[in-house]
A and B are shown apart, each in its own frame.
Chain A
Amino acid sequence: MNPSLAEKLVAIVGPRRVLARTSELLAYSSDGLPGYTKVPGIAVFPGTRDELIAVVRELARENAPFVPRGAGTGLSGGALADGVVLLGLNRLRRILKVDVVNQLAVVEPGVVNTVLTREVAPHGLHYAPDPSSQAACTIGGNVAENAGGPHCLKYGVTLNHVVAITAVLPDGTVTSFGNPVGESAGYDLVGAFVGSEGCFGVALEVTVRLQRNPQAVRTLLADFTSIDAAARSVSAIIARGILPAALEMMDAATIRAVEASIYAAGYPVDAEAVLLIELDGFEAGLDDDVATVVSLCTGAGARSVRVARDDAERARLWQGRKKAFGAMGRISPHLVVQDAVVPRTKLPSVLAEIQAIAARHRVRVCNVFHAGDGNLHPNIPYDAHDPDESTRVHKAMREIMETCMAAGGSITGEHGVGMDKLAYMDQLFTTETLQAMCDLRDVFDPKRRSNPGKVVPIHSCREWSMARAARRREGA
Chain B
Amino acid sequence: MSATTKAVAERVREAHGAQRTLRISGAGTWLTSGRPVDADDTLSLADDRGIVEYVPGDLTLTARAGTRLSEIVAATRAEGQWLPLDPWGGDSGTLGATLSTATAGPHSFSSGLPRDVVLGAEFVSGTGQIVRAGGRVVKNVAGFDLTRLLVGSWGTLGVITEATVRLRARPERARTLAISIAATHTALNELAIRLRALPFTPLASEVVNPRLATHLGLGDQPILLARVGGNEKSVQGQLELLRVFGEQLDVSEDVWDSLRTLDPGDAATWRWSHLSSMFGDTWSAADRSTRALGGSFMHGNPARGLVRVLVQPTARVTPAELVRTAAAFQGTVVMEQLPRSAWPLADSRASDDPTSRAIRDKFDPAGILNAGILGGPA
Contacts and interface: CB of A to CB of B under 8 A. Distances in A.
Interface of A: 99, 101-103, 145-146, 148, 152, 156-157, 159-160, 173, 175, 177, 179, 181-192, 194-196, 199, 212, 214-215, 235, 238-243, 281-286, 288-289, 341-345, 370, 373-375, 408-417, 421, 425, 428-430, 432-437, 439-444, 455-456
A247 to B, nearest CB: 12
A83 B125 CA distance: 37
A434 B131 CA distance: 8
Nearest to B133: A433
Nearest to B356: A187
Contact of A189 (B136, B275, B304, B356): B356
A394 to B, nearest CB: 20
Interface in B87-145: 102, 112, 115-116, 125, 129-133, 135-145
B230 A285 contact: yes
A285 B141 contact: no
A186 B350 contact: yes
Interface in B303-342: 304-306, 331-332, 334
Contacts of B238: 282, 284
B145 A192 contact: yes
Given A187-B153, A409-B137, 19 more contacts: A156-B116, A181-B305, A183-B271, A190-B148, A192-B144, A192-B145, A195-B144, A235-B57, A238-B169, A240-B169, A241-B81, A284-B233, A341-B140, A344-B57, A408-B135, A410-B141, A413-B137, A414-B139, A433-B131
B50 interface: no
B237 A191 contact: no
Given A102-B275, A456-B144, A436 B355 contact: no
A192 B151 CA distance: 11
Interface in B22-63: 55-60
B273 interface: yes
A410 B140 contact: yes
A143 to B, nearest CB: 12
Contact of A374 (B138, B146, B240): B138
Interface stretch (B178-186, B193-201, B255-263): B193-201
B142 A425 contact: yes
Interface stretch (B204-212, B213-221, B290-298, B357-365): B357-365
Contacts of B131: 430, 432-433, 436
A175 B236 contact: no
A429 B235 contact: no
Nearest to B357: A443
B254 interface: no
A429 B334 contact: no
B161 interface: no
B253 interface: no
B75 to A, nearest CB: 16
A441 B144 contact: yes
B232 interface: yes
A284 B169 contact: no
Dominant secondary structure of chain B at its interface with chain A: mixed
Given A189-B355, A343-B55, A101 B277 contact: yes
B232 A187 contact: no
A282 B58 contact: no
A191 B331 contact: no
A214 B138 CA distance: 23
B374 interface: yes
B130 A284 contact: no
A284 B133 CA distance: 41
Given A181-B275, A425-B143, A282 B137 contact: no
A199 B144 CA distance: 9
B231 interface: yes
Given A191-B148, A436-B129, A182 B331 contact: yes
Contacts of A195: 141, 144-145
Nearest to B102: A188
Task: Name which of A156, A242, A288, A443 has the most chain B CB atoms within 10 A of its CB.
Answer: A443
Given A182-B331, A183-B334, A416 B137 contact: no
A286 B137 contact: no
Given A159-B148, A238-B57, A241-B80, A185 B143 contact: no
Nearest to B9: A432
B264 interface: no
Contacts of A148: 139, 141
A194 B331 CA distance: 24
B57 A282 contact: no
A188 B140 contact: no
Task: Name which of B56, B149, B236 has the most chain A CB atoms within 10 A of its CB.
Answer: B149
B138 A373 contact: yes
Given A145-B141, A182-B274, A344 B148 contact: no
Nearest to B233: A285
A156 B116 CA distance: 8
